[in-house]
Structure 1
């Protein structure tokens, strides 16, 4: 009899626990997400790492013909009174060999943060994308494609610096009458030098009725205590002004960016182009980017690219891209973040074809 009572209490306790857990889970949501992108890259020139001269043609399989392959988790929980907790963990991967790739090279090296959000804005802490990078993305006509876009110029100049900000805290305001601002501070630091690897970034944007205008800055110190496989803490600065105008199914975008790396470069990049959804299944885009070395004006480049994506479904698309870059002086602008980041002197022509699936 006593054993029956114990079993009944245990059953009641388990049932109550399940009900409590069920009530909690009803207010929470975890989403697994990812993107797989694989393509073929061809260029009629390559840059010889030893000589700095033209080293021949190339044809190779790359991961990330238009975007990097990734896998992650996104979670939200409603805490009541309009307050919400959020988190994100995201890894960059290579479908060529299954290894970690892209971003800062670490597990969950793309994003790893937790945040609180309500009607007054959002506070986020952890490894996150900087306001400077997000402003560049918003004003790039090819959405920072891994091939032939403003993203190539960004990585060519500063690698992962100004994109991925580790050990950072940020605040993003709510959008009020189309205006929104973001601030980020990355602590960095190492014993005896708390300024090492310190970064800060800020942006402000106006987005209303098909018109977007933004501005952003980034400043960072070198010498992070825990350097990542892909450098993300160069002594670098970035400044940008961007704009976008939407006309029905077409959007025109333009931007100005200045990149500085202490003791190395000071480049201005002027870009612009068009995105056009010809049909819901067919997206065409193109852009032109002129890079000029402010220290030595003989060093400059012209990058131009066209792309097409055909959506077989909402999640799966085939794409083709073609681009040309013309380098003068010692400028070494490339065509592709993966496989052709730096280019040889003179004119280089390249193309990619591939498939992209999101889940």
Structure 2
């Protein structure tokens, strides 16, 4: 009887050991995350979408004065041997009325992907940000703020194209000696038209001792099989070269971007600026972006912006921003992705104040 109990105990011990080992190699984590951002927007001129003329001043509440409000789930599972499974589901929302907003207009229209990550790199499939967009973000001095940044030029030219790449698969290499590359291909084809909606993008980034340089391309065809409420499949081409240098509390960034939409325009954008953490709780930043239409050089604009962010805590930030844009010819650069994406001829000035909370 004593031997029988010992054997049973041993079997139970082995089972417990197997369970412990299994949990060690298959631990999973799911995180709920989000950003709530609301602000007030003022501009001294507003574009009349019907006539193209100045409709007068505006003062309004906007969702996303500095970044878009969002809600999502992020998960990972340790598969052992340095291999991880990951997923992300992210929705853009409006705190003004609780509706879906930003991104491509769908429920999880910002990101919806699953990935395998290892020491050999990461393979990701689904709706995801393109390497071109991520390169633009890395070289923007105001971190692609929704007001007065390179993000305004991007959405002004491409809408959601090159940001949200649906039905795509990507590979991002591990960082080797400071160098990292990314490749993406989007399967947008319709039956009988394989090239419709097809997109590809690639980027390369090198970082060393506070210095960063990157380059990226994007190429996409129109006619996606499953169009989204916000257009994300224009016949567009993008090229960019950017750089950044961090010394102490100051980071300087500069970039060149070419936006080309077939049959419409071919714009070059030259941008640069800096951010300065005056104290750990106060960040000041500013930038200038010059846009020129290569097909019609009389069409050009100058956008300049300044911003201040005060961190009440690690999660809650107060911000204030001011910007001015001067449009010549048919150029219609605006001040804000929300509420003032397109501008009128001449000089327009505007400002936002708001609060942002992340969780």
TM over 0.5: yes
RMSD: 1.5
Offset at residue 23 of structure 1 (A): 3.0
Partner Cα distance (2:299, 2:315) in 1: 41
Partner Cα distance (2:275, 2:174) in 1: 27
Does the CA-based 8 Å contact 2:276-2:285 persist in structure 1? yes
Instruction: Describe the superposition over 1:262-288 as per-residue Cα deviations: whole angstroms up to 9, x where unpaired.
Output: 000100000000011110100000000
Partner Cα distance (1:311, 1:71) in 2: 21
Offset at residue 25 of structure 1 (A): 9.6
Instruction: Describe the superposition over 1:199-232 as per-residue Cα deviations: whole angstroms up to 9, x where unpaired.
Output: 0000001011100000000000000011100000
Partner Cα distance (1:208, 1:220) in 2: 32
Offset at residue 328 of structure 1 (A): 0.2
Instruction: Describe the superposition over 1:293-340 as per-residue Cα deviations: whole angstroms up to 9, x where unpaired.
Output: 000000000000000000000000000000000000000000000000
Instruction: Describe the superposition over 1:117-164 as per-residue Cα deviations: whole angstroms up to 9, x where unpaired.
Output: 111100000000000000000000000000000000000001000000
Residue 140 of structure 1 is matched in structure 2 by 140
Runs of 4+ aligned structure 1 residues displaced above 2 Å come to: 19-26
Residue 351 of structure 1 is matched in structure 2 by 351
Residue 190 of structure 1 is matched in structure 2 by 190
Partner Cα distance (1:191, 1:126) in 2: 20
Residue 172 of structure 1 is matched in structure 2 by 172
What SS is found at the alignment partner of 1:347? Answer: strand
Partner Cα distance (1:33, 1:24) in 2: 25
Spell out the pairing of 1:172-251 with structure 2 (5 A cutoff).
172-251=172-251
What SS is found at the alignment partner of 1:273? Answer: strand
What SS is found at the alignment partner of 1:335? Answer: strand
Residue 259 of structure 2 is matched in structure 1 by 259
Does the CA-based 8 Å contact 2:197-2:220 persist in structure 1? yes
Residue 119 of structure 2 is matched in structure 1 by 119
Partner Cα distance (2:21, 2:110) in 1: 31
Offset at residue 21 of structure 1 (A): 12
Residue 48 of structure 2 is matched in structure 1 by 48
What SS is found at the alignment partner of 2:314? Answer: coil
Offset at residue 26 of structure 1 (A): 6.8
Offset at residue 22 of structure 1 (A): 9.2
Instruction: Describe the superposition over 1:76-118 as per-residue Cα deviations: whole angstroms up to 9, x where unpaired.
Output: 1110111111100000000000000000010110000000011
Partner Cα distance (1:138, 1:24) in 2: 35
Partner Cα distance (1:185, 1:90) in 2: 21
Is residue 322 from structure 1 mapped to residue 322 from structure 2 by the alignment?
yes
Residue 8 of structure 2 is matched in structure 1 by none
Does the CA-based 8 Å contact 2:26-2:77 persist in structure 1? no
Does the CA-based 8 Å contact 2:29-2:76 persist in structure 1? yes
Structure 1 residues 319 and 25, CA gap change in structure 2 (3 angstroms): farther
TM-score (norm 2): 0.94
Residue 6 of structure 1 is matched in structure 2 by none
Offset at residue 343 of structure 1 (A): 0.1
